[in-house]
Amino acid sequence: MKLKTMDIDKRMNYYKARGLSIAMINNGGIETSEGFGVLEAGTNNKTDSTSIFNACSISKFATTMLALKLVDDGILNLDENVNDRLTLWKVPENKFTQNKKVTLRRLLSHQAGFIDPDKSFSEYNSTEGIPTMFDLLEGQTSYYPEAAAVKYGPGSDFLYSDLGFCIIEQLIEDTSKKPYITLMNELIFQPLNMKSSTLEHTIPEAKKHSFACGHNKDGQLVDDKYPIYPYSAAAGLWSTPTDLSHLVIELINSLNGNSKLGISKKTIHEMISPQGCSKWAGLGVFLDYSDDKLEISSLGWGVGFQCIMVAYPHLGTGAVIMTNSDLGVHQTKALLGETIKALSQQYGWPSHE
């Protein structure tokens, strides 16, 4: 991929980024995909378009697409009290839920009243193992060390929350009577041909050559090489920019009435419209601009990895960029931000100025 205003290899060296993978969407399809650098420092295992990265919180974008399919299938409802469908665990009632209830819409837009404590939702702890969502929501794990409870009035404020997506995971399992991972494979990955995407909590030894190892801002390998997040809906996805682009293209197609998954144009329009008290929060995505220049984005940042998805659904264009390095700054800055800016200039995306 040649960028007129940026030397990717040179900028990767500057930021000590070990590997980078990009997929470019144009005219509603994947125009090009390419990898740069290596999957692991000190090796010649080169990054290419099939290399698999930790998607971190871009997992929430995939979760939202699954949830919206289930809405259109009549299994979930955006605006009813989630306690009406939760069975194994319920949102505890308190003074904040007397007048306003926790709904799927508020959970997807981070306005349901939940606050993640500092240092919660860390990577996999081998001494504790993989928690059930019930145990996590009950505060019986180190990942979320207190019982989940609404801390402010639902719909009154935006506070980004991994906990909210753990509740969505429990809601999906309770209503579908299937494991979340199984449902994601059946209803999202398989129909969209996302063959390189996985939510499994272990990486098979025979496939490790395709997986990127995480690196810190100094370009050194992180502990355990492959950080795992044992809460699938919030941060458990491993994928490629190409696979995630299929998800973006499905959104674009659904908006035009051509969904492979059976998601309606009306429902996708809801997804990319401002929700509740925030003009820049959609359902599972962030918003900027308006009308035909609408920009949607999803961001991921975890131990040893960063990634970003930016798309203009009405224009049929966008990009997914993933790196196996924690650059220590927000995804819109440094290497990822520079790459987005270069793509924007080259493809004539709406200006950020």
Q: Is residue 227 part of a domain?
A: yes
If we measure between CA atoms, which residue out of 271, 265, 273, 214 comes closest to residue 238? 214
Q: What are the phi and psi torsion angles at 252 (to 5°)?
A: -60, -45
Residue 352, pLDDT > 60, answer: no
Q: What is the predicted pLDDT for the residue at 225?
A: 94
Find where tokens 């960063």 sit: 306
Q: What is the predicted pLDDT for the residue at 4?
A: 79
Q: Is residue 279 part of a domain?
A: yes
Put simply, whether the predicted model's pTM sits higher than 0.75 gets the answer yes
Grouping H, G, I as helix, E, B as strand and the rest as coil, residue 233 is helix
Q: Is residue 335 part of a domain?
A: yes
Find where tokens 């980024």 sit: 17
At 290, the pLDDT band (50, 70, 90 cuts) reads low
Q: Is residue 352 part of a domain?
A: no
What CATH number does the domain containing 85 carry?
Answer: 3.40.710.10
Pairing of strands 53-56, 317-323: unpaired
| Domain that residue 222 falls in | 8-347
Tokens of 252: 């674009």
The answer to whether the Cα torsion of 21, 26, 28, 30 is positive or negative is negative
Q: Is residue 157 part of a domain?
A: yes
**Mind giving me the DSSP string for 322-334?**
EESB--SS-TTSH
Residue 353, pLDDT > 60, answer: no
Q: What is the pLDDT of residues 82-109, one digit of tens each?
A: 999 999 999 999 999 999 999 999 999 9
Higher pLDDT, 127 or 80: 80
If we measure between CA atoms, which residue out of 47, 51, 19, 20 comes closest to residue 239? 51
Q: What is the pLDDT of residues 148-165, one digit of tens each?
A: 999 999 999 999 999 999
What number is the average pLDDT over the span 255-270? 97
Kindly state the greatest CA–CA separation across the chain.
Answer: 59
Whole-angstrom distance, CA of residue 104 vs CA of residue 157: 15
Whole-angstrom distance, CA of residue 242 vs CA of residue 63: 17
Q: How many domains does the chain have?
A: 1
Using alpha carbons only, how large is the chain's radius of gyration in Å? 19
Q: Are 293 and 312 in contact (CB under 8 A)?
A: yes
At 206, the pLDDT band (50, 70, 90 cuts) reads confident
What number is the average pLDDT over the span 199-213? 90
Q: What is the pLDDT of residues 36-69, one digit of tens each?
A: 999 999 999 999 999 999 999 999 999 999 999 9
Residue 80, pLDDT > 90, answer: yes
